[in-house]
C-alpha cells in the first residue's frame, strides 16, 4: 500500500466515523459526570426533579408536612454534594457542622479527607488512623516507585524494533526477539544476532546452538526469514506490542496520579487528626 493510499484511508476512516466516535465519547462523558455527582451527593434527586418537571409533574406538595420533607431531602443532597460529607439527614448535617466548628476545621479539608473519616456515627466522628499511618505511607511510596519503574522501562520499549516471540512447537525454548532483518536471543545484549545471511552458513549457525536453542529450533527461526509476509507479520506484531506497552504506560500514569492524590489527601487527614490529638513532643534530657 502506497503512502498516499495509506493517508487517504486514514482520512476517510476518520471522517466517516467522526459522528459515531463523538457520540460515543459524549455518552461516556455524561455517564462519568453522573457517576461523579452520585458518588459525591449519594443520590440524584435533582435529576429526577428535572425529569418530573419536564413531563409536567407538580413541583411541590399541597400538604405542608410533605413539602417540608421534600425540601429537607433536597437540602441534604445539596449539602452532601457541596461539602462532600455523607450526611443522611439534617440531624447529621448539624452534628457534622458542630464537629467541624469545634475542632477548627475548614470544609475544604474535611471534603478532601472524607475517605479517612469514619462517618458511621455522626455523634462520635473519628479518623481512620490506619489509612494514614506510617505503614500506609510507606506502601503508597512503594507503589509510586513501582509504577515509575514500569513507566521508565515501558516508554523506551515503545520504540523498540524487536518483537518478543516464542516457538509454538518448542515450549521449552525461551523467548527471543525478531526484527525485520534479524533475530537476537537476549534482551540486553545486541550481539550476536542471527541474520538470513548467517542462516545460509552451517558454520555460522554453530555459535547460536546451545542448551536452550537446539539445531532444529535455529533452523525453524531461519525458515521464518524466507516467508513472503515475514516483514508484514513482524510489523503487525510490533504495532500490537507497542499498543500493549502504551496501554501499560497510560494505566501506570493514571495509577501514579491516583496515588499522588491519595498521598495528598492522607496528609490532609493526618493534619486534621493532629489538631484533635496533637503529637506528643519528645523531651530529651541533657
Measured CA distances, 195 to 181, 184, 187, 224 (Å): 6, 9, 17, 11
Residues of the chain with pLDDT under 70: 1-19, 21-22, 190, 281-286
Whether 271 and 126 have beta carbons less than 8 Å apart is answered as: no
Separation of alpha carbons 99 and 266, rounded Å: 19
* Predicted local confidence at residue 47, as pLDDT: 82
Task: Give residue 16's Cα distance to chain centre.
Answer: 30
Which triple of cell numbers denotes residue 154?
515501558
Supply the pLDDT for residue 17: 57
pLDDT tens digit string along 73-86? 999 999 999 999 99
Question: What is the full DSSP assignment across 231-278?
Answer: HHHHHHHHHHHHHHHHHHHHHHHHHHHHHHHHHHHHHHHHHHHHHHSP
Please write down the HEC assignment for all residues of 63-101: CHHHHHHHHHHHHHHHHHHHHCCCCCCHHHHHHHHHHHH
Task: Encode 203-225: b = buried (16+ Cβ within 10 Å), e = exposed.
Answer: eebeebeeeebeeebbebbbebb
Q: Whose CA is closest to 253, among 96, 160, 105, 147? A: 147
DSSP 56: T
pTM over 0.85: no
SS3 label, residue 1? coil
Say what the pLDDT of residue 283 is.
Answer: 52
Q: What is the pLDDT of residues 150-178, one digit of tens each?
A: 999 988 888 888 888 888 777 777 888 88
Closest CA to 114 of 77, 74, 81, 138: 81
pLDDT digits (tens, 9 = 90+) for 235-251: 888 888 888 888 899 99
CA atoms within 13 A on the CB side of 231: 4
For 126-129, the CB contacts below 8 A with 24+ separation are: 127/269, 127/272, 127/273, 127/276, 129/273
Amino acid at each position: 500500500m502506497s503512502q498516499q493510499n495509506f493517508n487517504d484511508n486514514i482520512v476517510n476512516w476518520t471522517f466517516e466515523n467522526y459522528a459515531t466516535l463523538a457520540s460515543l465519547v459524549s455518552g461516556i462523558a455524561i455517564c462519568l459526570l453522573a457517576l461523579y455527582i452520585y458518588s459525591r451527593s449519594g443520590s440524584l434527586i435533582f435529576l429526577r426533579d428535572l425529569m418530573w418537571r419536564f413531563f409536567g409533574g407538580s413541583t411541590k406538595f399541597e400538604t405542608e408536612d410533605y413539602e417540608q420533607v421534600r425540601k429537607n431531602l433536597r437540602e441534604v443532597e445539596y449539602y452532601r454534594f457541596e461539602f462532600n460529607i455523607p450526611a443522611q439527614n439534617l440531624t447529621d448535617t448539624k452534628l457534622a457542622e458542630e464537629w467541624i466548628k469545634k475542632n477548627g476545621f475548614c470544609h475544604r479539608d474535611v471534603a478532601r479527607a472524607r475517605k479517612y473519616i469514619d462517618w458511621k456515627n455522626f455523634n462520635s466522628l473519628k479518623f481512620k488512623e490506619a489509612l494514614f499511618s506510617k505503614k500506609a505511607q510507606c506502601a503508597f511510596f512503594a507503589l509510586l516507585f513501582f509504577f515509575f519503574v514500569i513507566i521508565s522501562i515501558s516508554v523506551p520499549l515503545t520504540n523498540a524494533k524487536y518483537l518478543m516471540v516464542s516457538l509454538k512447537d518448542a515450549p521449552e525454548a525461551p523467548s527471543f526477539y525478531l526484527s525485520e532483518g534479524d533475530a537476537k536471543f537476549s534482551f540486553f545484549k545486541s550481539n550476536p544476532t542471527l541474520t538470513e545471511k548467517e542462516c545460509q552458513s552451517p558454520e555460522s549457525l554453530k555459535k547460536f546452538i546451545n542448551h536452550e536453542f537446539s539445531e532444529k529450533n535455529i533452523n525453524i527461526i531461519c525458515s521464518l526469514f524466507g516467508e513472503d509476509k515475514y516483514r508484514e507479520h513482524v510489523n503487525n506484531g510490533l504495532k500490537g506490542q507497542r499498543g500493549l506497552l502504551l496501554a501499560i504506560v497510560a494505566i501506570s500514569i493514571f495509577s501514579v496520579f491516583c496515588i499522588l492524590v491519595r498521598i495528598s489527601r492522607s496528609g490532609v487527614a493526618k493534619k486534621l487528626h493532629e489538631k484533635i490529638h496533637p503529637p506528643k513532643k519528645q523531651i530529651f534530657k541533657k
